[in-house]
Copies of this chain bind each other. A is one copy, B any other.
Amino acid sequence: MKGAVLTRELDKVASVRNPTPRGQAAVDAVLDTVDELIGLAGATPEAVGVAVPGIVDDTTGIAVWSENIGWRDVPFRDLISERTGTRVAVGHDVRAGGTAEIRLGAARGVRNALVMPIGTGISAAMLIDGHLCVGDGYAGEIGHMSVGTDDPCVCGGKGCLEAVAAAPAVARAYTARTGRALETHAVTALAQAGDPDALAVWNETIDHLATALATATTLLAPEIIVIGGGLSKAGDLLLKPLETALHARLAYQRRPRIVEASFSDEAGTIGAALWARDLL
């Protein structure tokens, strides 16, 4: 987990990076990281913003559920507020990153956008009519939209986008095709170099992403789709072919541009800081 102390102008004063344990230890680690940052700042901040993964209700500040971390119904806003005596905003990590992209980054200036990081998982921040959608914490789970394959997903479903197009899926598909085990970035590099196996895997990944984004576009009508996360590092190997594949699937729908995120690793931190500043 990452944390930072920022000024009102978003200049970074201090930052920390700590491991994320599981279950109650993860809850304690979040609280300890906040304490550590307050110690580094030398004073209680005017407000605290926290972004966590899983199902998170930004309205109540409760981390409802995370399969990966293994917590359920953690009232982070109240816990941190009582501990620090200051204002606290809590929300979903992808919506925090989305907030950074929408207010300051690649999606600045539009009222309808989709911000989709592709890393070990896939999720999206949805901006519709200028409103960032929460759905009591359940909205935007594009990674668990079925793209029609039979691949099993960690969620218990099958054919989920995340199971076939997140970063680990690219590596898995390459291994299944060739019998060789490579990290995702190595597969990407091979595809960039024109390796036929890597390219076949890559094109299939793009197909799955385009299928999911065509559906999302039909429902949500974004003007722009911002791709973040590890896979976005592939740059033009990903973005242009994905935009072409998406547009080919659309008829009368509005055709969104697909662009790379402005903030990479920092998006969540900046978004959480913006939420904290909103409380002032």
Chain A interface (Cβ < 8 Å from any Cβ of B) = 55, 65, 67, 111-112, 124, 126, 128-129, 131, 133-142, 144-146, 148, 153, 155-157, 211, 214-216, 218-222, 249-254
Which DSSP category, helix, strand, loop or mixed, fits chain A's interface?
loop
A128 contact set on B, CB distance < 8 A: 128, 131, 133-135, 139
A126-B219, A135-B112, A135-B220 as given contacts; A55 in contact with B252, CB under 8 Å = yes
- The 7 closest A-B CB pairs, nearest first, are A135-B221, A138-B221, A156-B251, A155-B251, A157-B251, A148-B148, A139-B221
**CA A216 – CA B155 in complex, angstroms?**
17
Asked if A135 and B129 make an inter-chain contact with CB atoms under 8 angstroms apart, the answer reads yes
A253 contact set on B, CB distance < 8 A: 138, 141, 144
Asked if A249 and B219 make an inter-chain contact with CB atoms under 8 angstroms apart, the answer reads no
**CA A141 – CA B221 in complex, angstroms?**
9
Asked if B215 and A145 make an inter-chain contact with CB atoms under 8 angstroms apart, the answer reads yes
Q: List 15 A-B contacts (CB under 8 A).
A: A128-B133, A128-B135, A128-B139, A129-B133, A135-B221, A135-B222, A135-B254, A140-B219, A141-B218, A141-B219, A144-B253, A145-B219, A148-B148, A216-B219, A219-B219
A157 contact set on B, CB distance < 8 A: 249-251
Closest to A212 in B: B215
Residue in A65, A128, A139, A157 with the greatest tally of chain B CB atoms within 10 Å: A128
